[in-house]
């Protein structure tokens, strides 16, 4: 008769090796190609912006965790680092460091911690930070500089989308080439410029099945169809779909922002509706709205619908009668 006792636990007794920090670290690694491209194009300013955003984000999170009496090891789960990196990547490189820091505080504080921290926020935190900065510092947020590689010395510089909307680039024939959009040697936000670098990161995320493939497919597909219809109707007035996919924040939005798990739906049908909604709204703003870029607002807009989508797009249960 042995006295050996064992621990009792609820089944299942085995689990998969993946964990939340591991997922976060895969995302951070997938952002590295775009981060390196941004440092190549915008040199020390890029490094300074990354460091500022990281420090401000981690500090804000630490203060909130301390105030809420939560364990500090949440700082290590990688989610704050991702928000900091993404925020820096969607800011104009010429923005002042203190404005960037304010943006980070708002992103983590108002975008994430007041809702309850990781898993509870409704809006994408980095986008909340950027939206705040857009309203608080409108001039700084719409001033662009050329890349160091361009060796041009101008006080103001247009982004491809800015040229499209405000300088009639299609009619003038000065639409940024696909080659430039890929390499990133153009004006734009810190991490948005190089489509190639972003696509490398996207491949990593898709291969590791970290993101839901439906989201980028839905966004890029809808954008293509929407802009394609107008371009086919009036090619002299509208830019082709490929331009719209590679320019501006669409790639970073489709693969890195909209795919944020906390702020996207959990059901397959809901995810498609969410993605198509983002593509549609972004297309509407780009073609007919006041801003040259619409991806940020369309993601925030669709984030609002996620709880509703989760509630009303339940998948069919095995054995449930199919709707006639």
Partner 1 sequence: MRTKTFPHGIHPPEFKDLSKDKAFEVMPAPEKVVIPLLQHFGAPAKPLVKKGDEVFLGQKIGEAPALFSADVHSSVSGKVLSVDGYVHPLGKTVLAVTIQNDGEDRPIAEMETTRDPFALDTDIIRKKVKEAGIVGMGGAAFPTAIKLTPPKNKPIDVVLLNGCECEPFLTADYRLMLEYPEDILNGAELVRKTTEAEQLIIGIEDNKKDAYQLLKDSAQNSTTEVALVKTKYPQGAEKNLISALLGREVPKGGLPFDVGVVVQNVATAKALWDAVSSGKPLYERPLTVSGMGIKKPKNLIVRIGTSFQEVADFCGGIHDEVDTLVMGGPMMGLSQWTLEIPVIKGTSGILVWKAKKPPREFACIQCSRCVDHCPMGLVPTQLVKKVKYNLLDDAEAWGILDCVECGSCQYICPANIPLVHWLRLGKNKIISSKRKKSA
Nearer to partner 1 by Cβ, of 116 and 235: the residue is: 116
Distance separating alpha carbons of residues 147 and 320, to the nearest angstrom: 57
What is the closest distance, in whole angstroms, from the C-beta atom of residue 201 to partner 1 in the complex?
19
What is the closest distance, in whole angstroms, from the C-beta atom of residue 4 to partner 1 in the complex?
6
187 alpha-carbon distance from chain centroid = 18
Cα Rg, the chain, nearest whole Å: 21
Q: Does 117 bind partner 1 (CB under 8 A)?
A: yes
Distance separating alpha carbons of residues 85 and 103, to the nearest angstrom: 12
- Binder to partner 1 among 236, 318, 323, 324 (CB under 8 A)? 318
- Binder to partner 1 among 40, 150, 262, 289 (CB under 8 A)? 262
Q: Does 290 bind partner 1 (CB under 8 A)?
A: no
Give 311's contacts (C-beta < 8 A, 6+ positions apart): none
Q: Does 324 bind partner 1 (CB under 8 A)?
A: no
Q: Does 68 bind partner 1 (CB under 8 A)?
A: no
Q: Does 315 bind partner 1 (CB under 8 A)?
A: yes
Q: What is the 3-state secondary structure (H, E, C) of 183-203?
A: HCCCCCCCCCCCHHHHHHHHH
What is the closest distance, in whole angstroms, from the C-beta atom of residue 101 to partner 1 in the complex?
26
Exposure class string for 174-203: b at 16+ Cβ within 10 A, else e: ebbeeebbbbbbbbbbbbbbbbbbbbebbe
Number of residues that bind partner 1 (CB under 8 A): 46
Q: What is the 3-state secondary structure (H, E, C) of 79-94?
A: HHHHHHHHHHHCCCCC
Q: Does 16 bind partner 1 (CB under 8 A)?
A: yes
Q: Does 323 bind partner 1 (CB under 8 A)?
A: no
Binding site for partner 1 (CB under 8 A): 1-2, 4-16, 18-20, 22-23, 73, 77, 116-120, 212, 261-268, 271, 310, 314-321
């Amino acid at each position: 008769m042995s006295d050996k006792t064992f621990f009792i636990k609820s089944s299942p007794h085995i689990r998969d090796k993946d964990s939340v920090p591991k997922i976060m670290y895969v995302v951070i690694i997938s952002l590295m190609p775009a981060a390196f491209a941004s440092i190549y194009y915008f040199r020390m300013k890029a490094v300074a912006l990354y460091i500022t955003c990281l420090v401000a984000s981690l500090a804000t999170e630490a203060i909130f965790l301390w105030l809420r009496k939560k364990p500090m090891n949440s700082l290590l789960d990688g989610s704050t680092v991702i928000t900091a990196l993404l925020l820096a990547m969607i800011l104009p490189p010429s923005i002042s460091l203190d404005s960037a820091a304010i943006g980070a505080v708002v992103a983590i504080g108002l975008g994430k911690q007041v809702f309850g921290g990781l898993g509870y926020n409704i809006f994408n935190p980095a986008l909340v930070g950027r939206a705040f900065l857009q309203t608080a510092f409108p001039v700084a947020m719409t001033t662009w500089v050329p890349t160091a590689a361009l060796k041009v010395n101008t006080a103001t510089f247009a982004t491809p989308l800015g040229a499209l909307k405000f300088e009639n680039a299609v009619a003038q024939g000065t639409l940024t080439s696909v080659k430039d959009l890929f390499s990133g040697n153009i004006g734009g936000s810190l991490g948005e410029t190089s489509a190639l670098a972003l696509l490398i990161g996207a491949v990593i995320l898709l291969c590791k099945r970290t993101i839901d493939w439906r989201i980028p497919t839905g966004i890029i597909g809808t954008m293509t169809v929407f802009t394609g219809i107008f371009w086919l109707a009036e090619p002299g007035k509208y830019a082709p779909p490929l331009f719209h996919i590679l320019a501006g924040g669409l790639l970073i939005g489709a693969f890195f922002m909209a795919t944020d798990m906390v702020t996207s739906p959990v059901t397959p049908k809901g995810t498609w509706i969410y993605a198509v909604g983002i593509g549609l709204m972004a297309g509407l703003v780009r073609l007919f709205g006041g801003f040259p870029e619409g991806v940020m607002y369309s993601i925030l807009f669709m984030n609002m619908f996620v709880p509703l989508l989760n509630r009303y797009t339940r998948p069919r249960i095995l054995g449930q009668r199919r709707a006639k």
